[in-house]
A and B are shown apart, each in its own frame.
Chain A
């Protein structure tokens, strides 16, 4: 305890956490993109797909929403290499394994919001578009999607905010992101409270920033009848 908190912060904590922050971003951004991609695909299939495909996507969603993310992370990193198909097995490094785990799990949640957005559009509006002579494709493009996007945005954005927090689980499989770096610093310095509280501030900042960006996006897309619900 020779150095003060501020000195410790400046000399060790901030440089270490900055490096971790970068790794966190390397994990979060592709996971979020993967999650949205899978979510849109699964959401559209759940609403418009043929019956068997609907069933299949429902099964995917309930499987990934029904089990803890940490179990899924563990599976992709530790268990996957043990599954061999014809003598080949897949071994993923820690970062790709986390991205895969986060993306697949997030996609299951995202698909719920996409589905909700698609279902929120009254069928009558599609009929009205067709009655004006639009093709189904034109109706989807200019009536369904713009509305579904607005309806799904708050949920999808929140899911990405959750993802920021849950990206901390990557530290469990040795990824040196924010939490992983903090754990290492804490072990070496024995200054647990200072290290982990500072870590908390990092996440609070990230989450608050993301929430603010989401609100900006919602407000920019807002038209009467699609306003942001103030919470």
Chain B
């Protein structure tokens, strides 16, 4: 598990990027945490910099939308989904299990 940050450092409506070979973006939607691949599948942009709208994030460059729960494209121009990653909250810390698909909110 990759430690991300204390829960208090990621308030609702905010996102954080976890750098790595394949960066991951972690989102707080009204207290539920979601993690997806950070790089938009359309063109190079960081989804952690995007706009959170309900359970979707809008890419800051071309406004492609991805469902944070499933990684599926909910608005063009992106054509392919992003991967989801499982988020674990333990003792006030947020962790991601990179490569393990999420099955819902943490």
The reply to whether chain A is a binding partner of chain B is no
- The residues of B with any CB-CB pair to A shorter than 8 Å are none
- The residues of A with any CB-CB pair to B shorter than 8 Å are none
